[in-house]
Each structure stands twice: as C-alpha cells, then as structure tokens.
Amino acid sequence: MQTAVVQAGGVANPIPARAGVGLRAPHYREVIETRPPVGWLEVHSENYFGDGGAPLYYLEQARRLYPLSLHGVGLSLGSADELNRGHLAKLKALIGRFEPALVSDHLSWSSIDGRYLNDLLPLPYTEEALAHIVRRINEAQEVLGRELLIENPSSYLQYAHSTIPEWEFLAETAARAGCGILLDVNNVYVSGRNHGFDPQRYLSAIPVDAVREIHLAGHTVNRYPEGEILIDTHSTRVCAEVWGLYRGVVQRFGHVPTLIEWDTDLPALAVLVEEARTADAIREEAHALVA
Amino acid sequence: MPSLPELERRLAHAVFGGDAAGVATQIARGRFPAERHLQVYRNNVFASLTEALRALYPVVERLVGDEFFRSSAHAYIRRHPPPSGNLHDFGAAFSEFLAEFPAAQPLVYLPDVARLEWFWHEAFHAAEAEPRALARLSAVPPARHGALRFRLHPSARLLASDYPILRIWQVNQPEYRGDSVVDLAEGGVRLLVMRRGLTVAIEPLGAGEHALLSAMAAGKNFAESAEAALAVEPELDLPRSLRRRVRDATLVDFVF
C-alpha cells in the first residue's frame, strides 16, 4: 500500500492515500471499539467548537487510532464581512489540540452583516471576488500558521455577471493564495449537471500538484417541470457517474487521500467502510494500469 | 452590476426574507426561472436550521407536533438567524421567542421546557473542571466557611418553573414507557441541570438548595448564600447540603 503522501507540515500522523470516512456522532463508539479498516477520519471542525463533553472526548480517542482531517463549513471565506476572528481562534485552538494532517473549508460564502445561512453559497466569479477570497484565505492561513485546503462547492445558481469559469477561478485562487485544493468530485458532477458544463473540462483545468484531498459523496435529484436540479445532500451512496469520474481523477491526480462523506440519513458504519473500499479498489486498479 | 457586499446582502435577503426582487436579475438565465434557483437555497437554509432546532428541542417538538414546530422554527430562523458559523451558538433565544409567539400562547409551560432543553445543550458542551473543593475544604476551619465563594461546575445550570417541566420532559423522552399524562396542577419545580461524566443529569432541588446554589452562582459568599437559602427554607440542613454538593462536584472549587 502506498502511504507516502501529502504535505503534513511536521504533523506526526500524516494521512495515507487509502480512503477515509467522515466521523459522525452516531458512529463514535463503534469506530473506537471496532476500529474499522479505513485509512483516516475527517470531522466537521465546528462540531468540536464546544468547550468540553462527549464530542471532544470521543475525538480524543478517535485521534489516537486514526490520522485526522478537520473540515470546516463555517469560516465563510467568501463573505464581504470581516473575517470572524472568534471562529478563527476556535479553529486554531482545535488544530493545536488535535494536530490534524489537513485543514479545509470552502470556496463560498455563508454570512453577511453577521447573519449566517448555514449553507455554502457560491461567489460571483469575477476579478473582485477573486481578489477578495485570496485576501481572506491569506489572512486565515496567516492566523492559523498553516496551509488551508479550499473545496469547490456544489451550486444551484450562477450569476449573470460572472466572467471566469469556476475551474479557472479555483485554480487561480489556489495559485494566488498558496492554498491547496480539496477537490470534491461529486460537487463537480452536481454543478456540471446543474449548469451544463462538462466535468472533464473542469477536472482537466485543476492543477495536479495543488490537490491534496478528494471528496466523494452522494446527491439527490429534484425534478421540476423544466428539468432536474441535483442537490448535494451527502445522504446516499456515491453514484456510478461519480465513480466513473473518480477513475479518471486518480489517474490524473495520483495517490491523493480520498474521503467518503455522508451527513444526513447516516447509514450503518459498514456502508461507509464499503464505499471507502470501493474507492481504494478503483485507485489501486487505476495505478496498476499505469504501472 | 452590484458589488460583492451588495450582491451577498441581496441574496441573503432573498433567502431569509423571501423577496427575490433585488437579486433575480443577477441570476443567470438557464432552464429555470430565478425563483427556482433561490428556492433550492431557501430549502437548504430553512431545512438545515429547522433540523438543528429539532435536535436542540426534541421535547418542544413532541409537545407541539411536526407542523407547528416547523412553522415556529421558520419564524425563529427569520428573527434570530445564526450569529456565527458555529451552530452551537444557534437557538439560544428559542424560549423567549416561544414566550412571545402568538400561536404558542395557550401552552404556558412551553418556554420553560425550551429553557430546560437549552440548558441541557449548554451543559452537554460546557467545559470540564477538576473538582478541588473537597480536598481543599478540609484545610479550612468551619468558622471561615462563611467567607468562601464557591464556584459551580461550568456545566451547572439552575432553573425554576411554575410548571411541572421535569415531569413533562421525562414523559416525552423517546424511551419513556408509562403514563404520559401530566397534571399542570402538580405545580412548579426547581432544577439543577449538570453534566455528570459525559451525560447530562436533571435533578429536582428543594427551594432552599435552589436558593443556595443560585446565590453561589451569582457570586455570593457562603454566608450570604446560606441566608438566602434559609429565608425560603428555614429548616434546610446547610452543612449537609454543602457537604453533598462538594462531594458530588456541583461545587468544584472556592476562593476566599
């Protein structure tokens, strides 16, 4: 098995290329007691922003058994508000305590005038927004003293005044901010279907050496008289088309840590482990072909 | 073309306020009308935040039913959207909101049940504390106890209600089997909500002990707290109460 991966910036426990799974509260005890065969765990950073109690207790234990990644959904990097210093301080403390190998958030905004939407809204892809998010990522990386990975969001609208395709906007953000990319293959697929672009076109524009992590997840389909909108619900298995894209992704991007995300209608842990095994099989097969 | 802050402001307004006029022309024309795109975000925001409130207030939800809960949650989300990207901060004002919410007026006990559930949430996530009071207290002569200012465990929350909210809470737990009728004439209750180990315990208190711990939580010294306790319960065995609350680590430490 390949284990030599990823920048870890002196982190004791780097993330292997083997697929990991998202750790959610209903699975805490089973993961700790049965130690399922997955390579690493990822949690939502904000779920551990409490001061004490069960979540932090279980994360301490899980952290001893698996390499860890902290995935944020609340930094609101694209917001025109001031960066939330309190949020950043909590994240920094969490990083100090748990020493994650990877820390990530999104290419999106979720707050304005101090009101938070608890959702990831797309930016207009303009020079103004690009300069803004690059400045904010720089600021966050400076406070945290480490590299952030930025994930491409799934989106359900496009702005009329956007001038830059999302894939160029993401690549340019990474180049200018010196951050890594968390490439969510399902999000590329979902947005591609919603906005009518070719996922391959997107993937081939992403710089190979910037991608440090891959997300895979399931989505659902809403049907309307005018057609379908795909919703990134993280509530189902990875679909066949996304597995198909993943095959090409591992050929292009190499041995990058892959995560199975599942947040709503959480299934038995065994289902997540099975999805992770599928990802491992695809990656190993792809690399056997290359070798 | 609106600036980035202006665009975000208009979109947030369209999502929370429902008025899409300010942003509809900024949304690229595709197969769908602008309203359809906005509706997806509106659904995401309201469904996820309603789910967050449901996780915080399961007993309130059982008491009012799914439809009532959803409509009150939606009104709450509009009035008190999350103040940060950390959902632990969201939902704090639900009790006060329900107290004012017209449709909830007949359920007089509902705001206190919500307050209890919020305290449960706060206790669940509160900081740890090493109990030191027991070991330190033996070194203090009883004559000096009156001057001590005790510190409660960071998870301890005190609550008094005119309604039997502990019983209401208990019969609405998913694992509860038995008579679920609660007679409001049972009267009020005073409670200590606190995390013990990893789980939150809710304990009924007598009037004296509630007054004692409340005074301590407000920073009063033991003599002042004892006075407040005896005023409402003259027969309270104070030394016994103190010993018990030091032993069970409700009181974790003190200063002179």
**Which of A50, A74, A111 has its CB closest to that of B125?**
A50
Cα–Cα distance for residue pair B163/B179, rounded to 1 Å: 18
Cα–Cα distance for residue pair A117/A271, rounded to 1 Å: 30
Sign of CA dihedral A230, A102, A252, A173: positive
With an 8 Å Cβ cutoff, are A222 and B40 in contact? yes
B18: left (phi over 0), alpha (psi -120 to 50) or beta: left
With an 8 Å Cβ cutoff, are B7 and A159 in contact? yes
Cα A42 to its chain centre, rounded Å, is: 9
pTM above 0.90, yes or no: yes
**Which of B48, B85, B124 has its CB closest to that of A87?**
B85
Instruction: Summarize pLDDT for B152-176 with one digit per residue, the tens.
Output: 999 999 999 999 999 999 999 999 9
**Which of B26, B33, B88 has its CB closest to that of A161?**
B26
Cα–Cα distance for residue pair B225/B204, rounded to 1 Å: 19
The 10 Å CB-count burial string (b at 16+, else e) for A33-62 is eeebebbbbbbbbbbbbbebbbbbebbeeb
Helices B66-79/B4-17 angle, 10° precision: 150
With an 8 Å Cβ cutoff, are B195 and A50 in contact? no
The structural domains of chain A, with segments of one domain joined by +, span: 20-290
Q: What is the least distance, in Å, from the CA of A40 to any CA of chain B?
A: 24
* Partners of A181 in the β-ladder: A150, A211
With an 8 Å Cβ cutoff, are B81 and A54 in contact? no
- CA nearest to A219, candidates A244, A242, A245: A242
Nearest CA in chain A to B40: A156
pLDDT band at A7 (very low <50, low <70, confident <90, very high): very low
A220 within 8 A of A233, measured Cβ to Cβ: yes
Look up the CATH superfamily of A20-290.
Divalent-metal-dependent TIM barrel enzymes (3.20.20.150)
Instruction: Summarize pLDDT for A266-285 with one digit per residue, the tens.
Output: 999 999 999 999 999 999 99
Asked if A55 is an interface residue toward chain B (Cβ–Cβ < 8 A), one would say yes
Contacting residues for B175 by C-beta, under 8 A, at least 6 apart: none
Nearest CA in chain A to B84: A116
pLDDT band at A9 (very low <50, low <70, confident <90, very high): very low
Q: Cβ contacts (< 8 Å) between B5 and chain A: which residues? A: 80, 112
Cα–Cα distance for residue pair A190/A199, rounded to 1 Å: 9
Asked if A97 is an interface residue toward chain B (Cβ–Cβ < 8 A), one would say no
Asked if A109 is an interface residue toward chain B (Cβ–Cβ < 8 A), one would say yes
Cα–Cα distance for residue pair A244/A240, rounded to 1 Å: 6
With an 8 Å Cβ cutoff, are B128 and A52 in contact? yes
Q: What is the mean pLDDT of chain A?
A: 94
Instruction: Summarize pLDDT for A91-113 with one digit per residue, the tens.
Output: 999 999 999 999 999 999 999 99
Most A CBs within 10 A among B6, B8, B155, B200, hence the mutation to make, goes to: B8
Which amino acid makes up residue A123? L
With an 8 Å Cβ cutoff, are B86 and A75 in contact? no
Structure-model confidence comparison of residues A30 and B179, the more confident one: A30
pLDDT band at A12 (very low <50, low <70, confident <90, very high): low
**Which of B5, B11, B90 has its CB closest to that of A121?**
B11
Instruction: Summarize pLDDT for B103-145 with one digit per residue, the tens.
Output: 999 999 999 999 999 999 999 999 999 999 999 999 999 899 9
Q: Is the pLDDT of residue A149 over 50?
A: yes
- Give the phi and the psi of residue B152 in degrees, each rounded to 5: -80, 155
Q: Could you tell me the CA-to-CA distances from B46 to B84, B91, B241 in Å, in that order?
A: 16, 13, 46
